[in-house]
Amino acid sequence: MSGTAARVAQSYARAWLWRAAAPCALPVFAGLTLLLIPLAVIGASEASTPAASSVCSIGGTGATVAGIELDPVQMGHAQTIADVAAARGLDAYAATVALATAYQESRIRMLANDGSSTDLTGEQAAVTAASLQYPHDGLGSDHDSVNTFQQRWLAGWGTVAELMDPVYAAEAFYARLVEVPNWQTIPLTQAAQAVQVSAAGGAYARWAPLARELIAMLWPTAQAAAAAHSGAAAAVCPGLPVAAGSWIRPTAGTVTSGYGSRGGTLHAGVDIAGPRNTPVYAAADGTVLRAECTSDYCDRDGSLSLAGYGNLVELDHGNGVTTRYGHLSAYTVTAGQHVAAGTLVGFQGSTGNSTGVHLHLEVRQDGTPVDPVPWLADRGVDLRASDAG
């Protein structure tokens, strides 16, 4: 693809991304996936797949639930699982079974699979490894299993492309759950095992307390989203309950570079590195000052010879405080938009002056950069805490 064509495709894809993101955050995952697909297919898919976009998902915030630390990505997947149950008219118990299952199978992470299992033929390995093209926040290698539920394309759960869609994955789980006789009255672990046909057996029961507590947190939002979608008006995604004025960790990953002088120039923020396309969330309530490409190009990874933040989102939180989210692979907000803490603003990438996938996070007070690590620590957010699942 020529540079111009690539740019046209990129701007088209971004417009699509934005339209999809406007009513709800979740379609952005699908939109991002489509960035990898030729332009003509993007147009076709937009017209033919509105159904998958009908369930609202929000990013969420990290939380400690039943003694288990869950980061914003895991909480976001958990919300999706709850939302899909509510949208299908299922009760909270269905979502509880699903969450206990997802925690056992993947720690509630969207796992791609590199196809390295020796059980697979070369052809099967290649099909399985195609999962790496889709947004994911972890890697597995169990047979041909992918996604939060470790569903297997070879076992008829769907195509790899379908299985890497978090909404499809949850719908596929529930479709089989409701076919299990007496699923609402038999023990949770039996219901989960019947769906999963898993050797893990009793392991699911261990996560029932976690799943019950999660559902107590997420179910009201799921019900609100389902109710809003059954009405005529498109719903704006409701946020997870985040107390007014609070700050959250904006993305999953490890701090790889701190604030301070680097060879005479100031590194004005902190770098947090996770897998490509890890969601990035607004760290607090605010207004979008800008969401734009700040480098010569942002349709592909940058390099050290390219200046700028690449795709940058900047938020104004009032009282002179602004935050910047740099090197995003794509952004999902637009200037002037109000965001709540936990609103999805984009995805980790390596656009602009960057050599690897990460989020460059800045906090500025009256325009002057401050070290985000202690600044956020004062507000209850420990960026250096490990969030490994």
To the nearest whole angstrom, how small is the minimum distance from the Cβ of residue 360 to Zn ion?
3
CA distance 234 to 213: 29
Token reading at 132: 């790496």
324 binds Zn ion (CB under 5 A): no
**Per DSSP, what are the bridge partners of residue 146?**
151
Stretch that binds Zn ion, among 24-32, 182-190, 208-216, 352-360 (CB under 5 A): 352-360
Contacts 24+ apart (CB under 8 A), 33-42: 33/133, 33/134, 33/135, 33/161, 33/164, 33/165, 35/10, 35/330, 36/133, 38/9, 39/8, 39/9, 39/12, 42/9, 42/12, 42/13, 42/16
Residue 105 or residue 271: which is nearer to Zn ion going by CB? Answer: 271
301 binds Zn ion (CB under 5 A): no
271 binds Zn ion (CB under 5 A): yes
Residue closest to Zn ion when measured from CB atoms = 360
To the nearest whole angstrom, how small is the minimum distance from the Cβ of residue 257 to Zn ion?
6
To the nearest whole angstrom, how small is the minimum distance from the Cβ of residue 103 to Zn ion?
33
To the nearest whole angstrom, how small is the minimum distance from the Cβ of residue 270 to Zn ion?
7
> Within 99-158, which residues bind Zn ion (CB under 5 A)?
none
The contact mask relative to Zn ion for 192-211 (x = CB under 5 A, - = no) is --------------------
CA distance 15 to 31: 10
Residue 129 or residue 312: which is nearer to Zn ion going by CB? Answer: 312
* CA-to-CA dists, residue 238 to 23, 222, 389, angstroms: 11, 9, 26
To the nearest whole angstrom, how small is the minimum distance from the Cβ of residue 212 to Zn ion?
40
To the nearest whole angstrom, how small is the minimum distance from the Cβ of residue 14 to Zn ion?
23
Token reading at 219: 């179910």
Token reading at 342: 């936990």
Residue 229 or residue 360: which is nearer to Zn ion going by CB? Answer: 360
327 binds Zn ion (CB under 5 A): no
- Which residue type, as a one-letter code, is found at position 72? P
Edge-to-edge order in the sheet of strand 279-281: 279-281, 344-347, 330-331
CA distance 293 to 181: 53
Residue 63 or residue 270: which is nearer to Zn ion going by CB? Answer: 270
To the nearest whole angstrom, how small is the minimum distance from the Cβ of residue 299 to Zn ion?
21
Stretch that binds Zn ion, among 47-55, 57-65, 172-180, 357-365 (CB under 5 A): 357-365
CA distance 344 to 339: 9
360 binds Zn ion (CB under 5 A): yes
Which residues, in sequence order, are CB contacts of 144 under 8 Å at separation 6+? 113, 115, 117, 120, 124, 127, 128, 152, 153, 154, 155
Residue 95 or residue 268: which is nearer to Zn ion going by CB? Answer: 268
Residue 249 or residue 360: which is nearer to Zn ion going by CB? Answer: 360
Q: What is the DSSP letter of 66?
A: T
Residue 256, φ and ψ in degrees, nearest 5: -110, -15
Residue 317 or residue 360: which is nearer to Zn ion going by CB? Answer: 360
Residue 28 or residue 280: which is nearer to Zn ion going by CB? Answer: 280
To the nearest whole angstrom, how small is the minimum distance from the Cβ of residue 345 to Zn ion?
17
Residue 271 or residue 314: which is nearer to Zn ion going by CB? Answer: 271
Residues 277, 348 contacting (CB under 8 angstroms)? yes
Instruction: DSSP for 362-389, please give it.
Output: EEEETTEEE-HHHHHHTTT--TTS----
The contact mask relative to Zn ion for 220-259 (x = CB under 5 A, - = no) is ----------------------------------------
* Residue ranges that bind Zn ion, judged by CB under 5 A: 271, 360
